[in-house]
Structure 1
């Protein structure tokens, strides 16, 4: 008690010195992940705008945060220094962080050496290309899905986050980093086309059904940025504000191809937004309003899109969509249930018992006994929940050796591949029969090391799995015999994305 009183008196008497020490501690321990300007890197932005709803900041600094790469610093910083660092993070920046359409446009850089090839410069199937995101040194490897040769390896913006998005013809891919950079790459030419910073702290991207528009979901500023896929120019930059005036971060944006729209998950308001990507479609649908009714950032192109609001009981995150995109399932902030929202009706129609923080964004579907089912892992418990998508009945809960993060399957495979991403069994990959829902085998070729994220080739004949370590590898398996056929050294390979599976919305691929 005496120590705390002395500490309080010291900080109160010498606030500038405490602030300077906290700034030094931030630079030494936090800047590598959260950015020197506190505006985000591999980790989120650490400013009042993003920390206002977070409780127990001192405890997080001291103990770390479960299910993330955030380590604790209790063995490096005293309680007083942790308290001062928490105060420093919650203090406003010297200047409010804004990122207008003009600033976006000013950041745009096109590759002067880019030359579009009239046909692929390689001999393999361009639809069977798989991109491997290597977070260890911020690169992407381009794999031939037949020979598994590395066709190219190119540098990406720092801290790529969320899955890359392909144009409908599979030729171009867009990659986004946590600090808002969007990169365009030509797979046929094996060249970067250009890049632009569409936000300061961004979550993911989505591409429109016609391939014309790319939407960027932003935490900072709380906004949706829409880019032209042709030249990365800014089509529209719209601050996101709920009906009651609450400013909201956008936790994710999704493509709804059959609806010709984007669907937005609002982090801080009980609303879902649907934004029409075809002005004619939006104009005739109930509930849509012209984009000019929104408060646009000066300099953005007016009137391109229209938006409708769907009210929910509480904010929902991490969406999963039925294959026809009529319904979505979201999870509440507590992570103890799933909520089914019918997008045609514009309201909630069911609740699902999904405790344990379901990771719906990794959900996949398949046909079982003549009915369509979906499955989702849980981040806080070793369970895969399987749900009947016709009556929303919980079919089964498959017990696993720990919480998982990713699921994958394929129409031509009888199996679901489910990792055990968190905990002491993170070196395991379960292979599950899609009909019996039983674990057929568990692969663990790298004891004590993270083995995660499966992806199938175009025809479903092979499965690629990541040794998720700095000196890691992509391991290729025969999808029928489950035998290893090849290893490709990689620098902490995380996600792997097959062109065909992504652009055709293959059932076994999360969207």
Structure 2
């Protein structure tokens, strides 16, 4: 909805989009709510909107929003959990905290914690408007962190009964990315607005450093603000990577050094950077490459943590708009290669490339544009959604064989029934009643946070 982007489009087409929606996207039709004049007025306002307040990330302002919600040390003493995540007290919600799955109820602004061994919803927590992602502290798995679209960073102790929130901080007014350092000491949260990222202590959520991106050079040579998109930690070294969405850069931060400096600035990756993931090659190169989607240039940029340079660009197809979500990286025994995959938003295509050759191996057709592609060592498939597909196809999940690179199965999820389908023959292999899960008894937890304490905007030039 940025004016610069909207002005490149035709006014009447934008009006039609508001009224009739857009096929293969999440944009619904609003013609039952708005008249044509209403829609035209919205487009006029959006195309001519001018920013009167330029925001700049300010560490002191962020610190003012830091809230302690529970005594973390007292909880750890009362409810001990060992380094492997095993519960060491009686009456725990689970036997091991690694059995707890995180789920996001975006529209309800809730984080859910689920016992993956039974399917029981253990608790639900308010954690800011439109919770975006929840991640774990792999070094200390009793701790989890969520970031909301409204900039609320929340820390949970999932080793204690009820998985209480223990700390919170408002890192921005609009946020997306989140990563925890492998040593368990630091959390990095990325903002769309004000542009930048905030580094926090992973045990307390105390803000330690702000990385402002209000004045950076974009791919066209213009100086201006940039949102921060994908953020990743890596086992390859003491680094965080943060992608500057509008600037087309990636910053590499060394959290092992005093003052947590930016030790790499990789420019000219592409336009509109978004999701990212790491390569999972076995051995010393595990996590060496930060693979970032450039949706404006239809490519995956490959940033090398070792050289701190751009290793390659993998083109995913004209107007494909890659969106890997968590991405996928696995070893293909048949080819003897490490492979990687992304979904495509604009049409049904899972793009697969090798590493470190960085050549596209195959493009696999699916039923429609998707947002997520994922796998794990425990499944023989890559799982790809089609959520941006046509009404009769958007609820399909394609299961692509990691060895043959062919679609084996399709899961069709409906409100009344679900189906597992053989992709080659179309035969329904399994069917289940989806209505049995309509109501799940849960414990919704109200934390000590009431209304969000929003970080106030800081006009540029008004602080030292």
Q: TM-score range by the shorter chain?
A: 0.7 to 0.9
Q: What does the per-residue CA deviation read over 1:293-331, in whole Å, with 9 as the maximum and x for residues that have no partner? A: xxxxxxxxxx34334211225334332322223223333
> Contact 1:426–1:448 at 8 Å: present in 2 too?
no
Question: Within the alignment, does 1:107 sit opposite 2:80 as a pair?
Answer: no
Structure 1 equivalent of residue 385 of structure 2: 419
Pair 1:181–1:449, CA change in 2 (3 A): farther
Instruction: Give the whole-Å Cα distance in 2 for the aligned partners of 1:449 and 1:219.
Output: 38
Pair 1:334–1:314, CA change in 2 (3 A): closer
1:320 maps to which of 274, 277, 281: 277
TM-score for the superposition, normalised by structure 1: 0.68
Structure 2 equivalent of residue 379 of structure 1: 345
Instruction: Give the whole-Å Cα distance in 2 for the aligned partners of 1:339 and 1:359.
Output: 12
Q: Which structure 2 residues correspond to residues 396-475 of structure 1 after superposition, within 5 A?
A: 396-423=362-389, 424-446=392-414
Pair 1:448–1:248, CA change in 2 (3 A): farther
Structure 2 equivalent of residue 366 of structure 1: 330
SS of equivalent residue, structure 1 residue 279 = coil
SS of equivalent residue, structure 1 residue 199 = coil
Please state how far the C-alpha of 1:64 moved relative to its aligned partner.
Answer: 4.4
Question: Within the alignment, does 1:147 sit opposite 2:110 as a pair?
Answer: no
Please state how far the C-alpha of 1:97 moved relative to its aligned partner.
Answer: 4.9
1:260 maps to which of 199, 213, 238: 238
Instruction: Give the whole-Å Cα distance in 1 for the aligned partners of 2:203 and 2:120.
Output: 29
Which runs of no fewer than 5 residues in structure 2 stay unpaired? 82-86, 281-285, 421-428, 441-464
Structure 2 equivalent of residue 467 of structure 1: none
SS of equivalent residue, structure 2 residue 28 = coil
SS of equivalent residue, structure 2 residue 191 = strand
Report the structure, 1 or 2, having the larger helix content: 1
TM-score for the superposition, normalised by structure 2: 0.75
Structure 1 equivalent of residue 181 of structure 2: 208
Pair 1:62–1:111, CA change in 2 (3 A): same
Please state how far the C-alpha of 1:182 moved relative to its aligned partner.
Answer: 0.8
Pair 1:68–1:258, CA change in 2 (3 A): same
Instruction: Give the whole-Å Cα distance in 2 for the aligned partners of 1:393 and 1:482.
Output: 37
Pair 1:207–1:444, CA change in 2 (3 A): same
Structure 1 equivalent of residue 152 of structure 2: 181
Q: What does the per-residue CA deviation read over 1:119-155, in whole Å, with 9 as the maximum and x for residues that have no partner? A: 4433422222111222342322222222222222222
Pair 1:347–1:177, CA change in 2 (3 A): same
Instruction: Give the whole-Å Cα distance in 2 for the aligned partners of 1:113 and 1:211.
Output: 19
Instruction: Give the whole-Å Cα distance in 1 for the aligned partners of 2:415 and 2:343.
Output: 22
Structure 1 equivalent of residue 458 of structure 2: none
Structure 1 equivalent of residue 30 of structure 2: 73
> Contact 1:377–1:405 at 8 Å: present in 2 too?
yes
Structure 2 equivalent of residue 9 of structure 1: none
Q: What does the per-residue CA deviation read over 1:189-229, in whole Å, with 9 as the maximum and x for residues that have no partner? A: 12111211100111211112222221111111112111222
SS of equivalent residue, structure 1 residue 107 = coil
SS of equivalent residue, structure 1 residue 103 = helix
Pair 1:364–1:112, CA change in 2 (3 A): closer
SS of equivalent residue, structure 2 residue 325 = helix
Structure 2 equivalent of residue 293 of structure 1: none
Q: What does the per-residue CA deviation read over 1:304-363, in whole Å, with 9 as the maximum and x for residues that have no partner? A: 433421122533433232222322333334353333333333433333231112223332
Structure 2 equivalent of residue 496 of structure 1: none
Pair 1:76–1:322, CA change in 2 (3 A): same
CA-based RMSD: 3.2
Q: What does the per-residue CA deviation read over 1:66-111, in whole Å, with 9 as the maximum and x for residues that have no partner? A: 6654434355434443343344445457755555323322222222
Instruction: Report how many aligned residue pairs link the two structures.
Output: 393
Question: Within the alignment, does 1:310 sit opposite 2:266 as a pair?
Answer: yes
Structure 2 equivalent of residue 354 of structure 1: 316
2:216 maps to which of 242, 245, 249: 242
Pair 1:371–1:251, CA change in 2 (3 A): same
Please state how far the C-alpha of 1:488 moved relative to its aligned partner.
Answer: 4.7
Q: What does the per-residue CA deviation read over 1:412-438, in whole Å, with 9 as the maximum and x for residues that have no partner? A: 322222222122312222222221222
Please state how far the C-alpha of 1:63 moved relative to its aligned partner.
Answer: 4.9
Does 67-76 or 311-320 show the bigger shift?
67-76
